Chain A
Amino acid sequence: MYPISLIAILLLNVFGLCQVQANTIWIIQKGISLKKTIAQIKDGDTIIVKKGFYQEGNIVINKSIVLLGEDYPILDGENKHEIFTITAPHVIIKGFKLQNCGNSSLNDLAAIKVLNTHHVQIIDNQLKNNFFGIYLSYVQNSLIKNNKVVSNATTELHSGNGIHCWKSDSLQIIGNTIEGHRDGIYFEFVTHSIIWRNTASKNVRYGLHFMFSNDDAYITNHFKNNGAGVAVMFTKNVKMFNNFFEENWGDAAYGLLLKEISDSYLLGNFFRKNTSGIYMEGTNRIKVKRNVFRNNGWAMQIQASCMENIIQENNFLGNSFDVSTNGSVVLNTFLKNYWDKYEGYDLNKDAIGDVPYRPLSLFSIMVEKNNSSMLLYRSFMVTLLDKSEKILPSITPDNFIDNQPLMKPLPL
């Protein structure tokens, strides 16, 4: 498309004296085709792209090269192409602004797609208005770091995920910001990976969508105001530490949805202003420890299908309902939590209340059975019913109980 004129700076390759395979740095600027340059160069070379506006359709990277953008050159997909397709290992893409990739209902077009490879690094790029942002499929040992992935999705059908990972292993997703996609980060069949310090907000569906992905950890992420919060499903051995789940509001919106999870840890997270802080279904043997639940509609909704979970040393502050459940079977343990609705006393001054606390109110069960009863919330009559139920539990399961409620909130 553009006239070919390459400016090549040879670094080490001095008169062929050097026996080692030399690496070359290529500089691309306006008028030089990136696509054709890639076709010419060899493994290990570096391409520096100067500031500018480039429209080259789909750029396939099938060699182990380094692509560096200077002052964020713009690569435009003209709303019909996938921009980068990486199929080679050891590729680094850094410092680009990628925008307007194609939108298709047949193919998952992405700004950067990585297929069947390993050791790829995608660092410090700005992605704007793309269908899928970064798409990884069958990828190992790769790093996605400090990218800003922003789109303007409005419906689930016509949008793609921000960072989409499928059948991959040992990924590091660090410090990315994802906004306005379908799912912020999507994990399916991804193992031994870490999601750290990302921010996902205003996505149409989930901030983080996590399925069939064992042995992963997500730490210190911020999920705010996503359509339905965060979903972690059909997975074992997940570590969820120090994350923020905020302002996920709506009919089926959860700070965190745990479905069919087992043997996992939920430590030090902060749930604020969600319709439902944690919604648990078929969740077994997980430890919920040292989390803060503040100003949620429901701090935790634990369905009767959950077993052997330990909910210990959490702060429950200012929630409309602390806990609700849908059955009479209780196979979970509550211990040493701080409940701001606790009204007991502590005579022996060991900081643990002498009277057990029943976090399940009669009214929360009534709402669970009949949603419309929410209409009567905080009515004096309902408060009376709740009080008498607390003293003589007849409808609420009597083993739904914290035997050692704390008198003061934990310093979390």
Chain B
Amino acid sequence: MFSIVRLIVSDIVKNKIVIVYTLLLAILSWSAFMLEDNQNKGILTLLNIILLTIPLVSILFTAIYIYNSNEFIELLVSQPLRRNKIWISLFWGISGSLLFAFLLSTGIPLILFADLKLGLIMLGVGCMITLICVAIAFVSTTFTRDKAKGIGIVIVLWLYFALLFDSLILFILFEFADYPIEKPMLFMVALNPLDIGRILILLHLDVSAMMGYTGAIFREVLGSITGILIAFILLILWTVVPFWISLIKFNHKDL
């Protein structure tokens, strides 16, 4: 299994796109902190990177990579290897290199410039979001053989998580403004991993504002150590469940 992971990682490195991705992220994150005199603004830039750029790159790159390595996967399947192992190694190969890229480029400035606790939370959320997007790409690619269709699905999913879902939440919030919907809203938010990540970071970034109004409720639920744990468990579920579905699909798929 390890040798397959190594094969995939070396293939990705040869591919150079991930290296460019690392460099780009590094330039973005370092400049975010160096150009602004206000450390807070740098963190906001990084927040947007974590919530927009990283999901987009992870989900697209994974989908394209899987479609492109179709022949390689067929070759592996013809070997005396269990399909489970192939699929899991593929997952770790891709997500490992993306995680490494993220930690190397964004992690260092984040640890250097941001408040330690906030920095660690942001790193944790960034890593989880990378894993989740890779898993979602895995599940989408198992659903269709058509490359264009698969990549289309992946882009729509990204749009949905990054933009549409929040509009939907906003709509519900204002439609049901007269009802006590704070707690149901929390469950609703659990349906979007990007939102879970965003709120986790917010609770540390905008403490003062989140303490007011209903912010207090979110803080009670998500601000405590157990809350952070629950949020991370949710994020892990968001990784495991899609990947597990894709694994079942892949195991029974007629290549």
Query: Would you call A297 and B51 a contact (CB within 8 A)?
Result: no
Of B41, B162, B163, B202, the most chain A CB neighbours within 10 A belong to B202
Judging by beta carbons under 8 Å apart, are B167 and A340 in contact? Answer: no
Does A251 lie within 8 Å of B212, measured CB to CB? yes
- Please measure, in the bound complex, the distance between the C-alpha atom of A370 and the C-alpha atom of B177, giving whole angstroms: 7
The stretch that binds B, out of A80-88, A258-266, A303-311, A373-381, is A373-381
| A367 near B213: Cβ-Cβ < 8 Å | yes
Pick from A297, A372, A382: contact of B210, CB below 8 A. Answer: A297
Please indicate the chain B residues that have their CB under 8 angstroms from the CB of A378 in the complex: 44, 47, 198, 202, 205-206
Residue A100 CB within 8 A of the other chain: no
Task: Return B82 CB to nearest CB of chain A, in Å.
Answer: 41
Q: Which residues 49-108 in B have Cβ within 8 Å of A in the complex?
A: 51-52
- Which partner residue on chain A sits nearest B176 by CB separation? A372
Determine whether B181 belongs to the interface, using a CB cutoff of 8 Å to chain A: yes
Q: Taking the complex as formed, is A250 at the interface, i.e. its CB lies under 8 A from any CB of chain B?
A: yes
* One of B116-124, B149-157, B214-222, B232-240 contacting the partner: B214-222
CB neighbors of A among B1-56 (8 A): 38, 40-41, 44, 47-48, 51-52
Contacts of B209 in A (CB 8 A): 275, 296-298, 320-321, 374, 377
Establish whether residues A373 and B206, one from each chain, have CB atoms under 8 Å apart when the complex forms.
Answer: no
Task: Tell yes or no: B169 within 8 A of A by CB.
Answer: yes
In the assembled complex, B248 has its CB within 8 A of some CB on chain A: no
Is A352's CB within 8 Å of the partner chain B?
A: no
CB pair B199–A275 under 8 Å, yes or no, is: no
Q: In the bound complex, what is the Cα–Cα distance between A340 and B189 (angstroms)?
A: 30
Are A297 and B170 neighbours in the complex by a CB distance under 8 Å?
Answer: no
**A5 part of interface (Cβ distance < 8 Å):** no
C-alpha gap A137/B44 in the complex (Å): 52
Task: Tell me whether A297 and B52 are in contact (CB under 8 A).
Answer: no
Contact (A297, B189) CB under 8 Å given A376-B170, A377-B202, A382-B166: no
B191: shortest Cβ distance to chain A, in Å?
Answer: 13
A43 and B78 alpha carbons, distance in the complex (Å): 110
Tell yes or no: B148 within 8 A of A by CB. Answer: no
Question: Does chain B have a CB within 8 A of A318?
Answer: yes
Say whether B169 contacts A374, CB under 8 Å: no
**In the assembly, what is the distance between CA of A88 and CA of B5, in Å?**
89
| Chain B minimum-CB-distance residue to A247 | B208
Contact A376 B169 (CB under 8 A): yes
Rounded to whole angstroms, the CA-CA distance of A379 and B38 in the bound complex is 20
Q: Given A379-B166, A380-B162, A380-B166, does the pair A374, B214 have CB atoms closer than 8 Å?
A: yes
- Counting CB contacts under 8 A, is A249 at the interface? yes
Task: Name B52's closest neighbour in chain A (CB-CB).
Answer: A380
CB proximity of B197 to chain A, nearest CB, Å: 11
Once the chains bind, are A381 and B182 in contact (CB under 8 Å)? no
* Cα of A377 to Cα of B177 in the assembled complex, Å: 17
Tell yes or no: A213 within 8 A of B by CB.
Answer: no
Q: B173 near A373 (CB under 8 angstroms)?
A: yes
Q: Is the CB of A296 within 8 A of B52?
A: no
Residues in A whose Cβ lies below 8 Å from that of B218: 374-375
Tell yes or no: A317 within 8 A of B by CB. Answer: yes
Please measure, in the bound complex, the distance between the C-alpha atom of A371 and the C-alpha atom of B38, giving whole angstroms. Answer: 28
Cα–Cα distance between A19 and B206 once the two chains are bound (Å): 73
B47 close to A379 (CB less than 8 A): no
Q: Is the CB of B167 within 8 A of A381?
A: yes
A177: CB under 8 A from chain B? no
B212 contact from A250, A375, A381, Cβ within 8 A: A250
Per the bound structure, the CA–CA distance linking A276 and B71 in Å amounts to 60
When the two chains form their complex, are residues B215 and A374 in contact, meaning their CB atoms are under 8 A apart? yes
Once the chains bind, are B40 and A318 in contact (CB under 8 Å)? Answer: yes
- Who on chain A is nearest to B163 by CB? A381
Q: Which residues of B contact A320 (CB under 8 A)?
A: 206, 208-209
A181 interface residue (CB < 8 Å to B):
no
- Contact in complex: A273, B212 (CB < 8 Å): no
B212 close to A298 (CB less than 8 A):
yes
A295→B181 contact, CB < 8 A: no
For A120-153 the 0/1 string (1 means CB < 8 A from B) is: 0000000000000000000000000000000000
Q: Which residues of chain B come closer than 8 Å to A269, judged between CB atoms?
A: none
A204 within 8 A of B: no
Inter-chain CA distance A320–B213, complex, in Å, is 14
Closest to A340 in B: B38
Q: Is A396 an interface residue (CB 8 A)?
A: no
Tell me whether A370 and B211 are in contact in the complex, defined as CB-CB below 8 angstroms, given that A375-B199, A381-B166 are known contacts.
no
Q: Which of A297, A375, A383 contacts B208 (CB 8 A)?
A: A297
CB of A117 closer than 8 Å to a CB of B: no
Q: Other than the known A320-B206, A374-B213, A375-B195, what 5 A-B pairs have Cβ atoms closer than 8 Å?
A: A249-B208, A275-B209, A318-B38, A320-B209, A372-B181
A–B complex contacts, Cβ < 8 Å, 19 sampled: A249-B212, A250-B211, A251-B212, A273-B208, A275-B208, A295-B208, A297-B212, A320-B209, A370-B174, A371-B213, A372-B182, A374-B209, A375-B185, A375-B199, A376-B169, A377-B209, A378-B44, A379-B195, A380-B51
| Chain B interface (Cβ < 8 Å from any Cβ of A) | 38, 40-41, 44, 47-48, 51-52, 162-163, 166-167, 169-170, 173-174, 177, 181-182, 185, 189, 195, 198-199, 202, 205-216, 218
Which 7 pairs of residues, A with B, have the shortest CB-CB distance? A297-B209, A320-B209, A297-B208, A371-B213, A275-B212, A381-B166, A249-B211
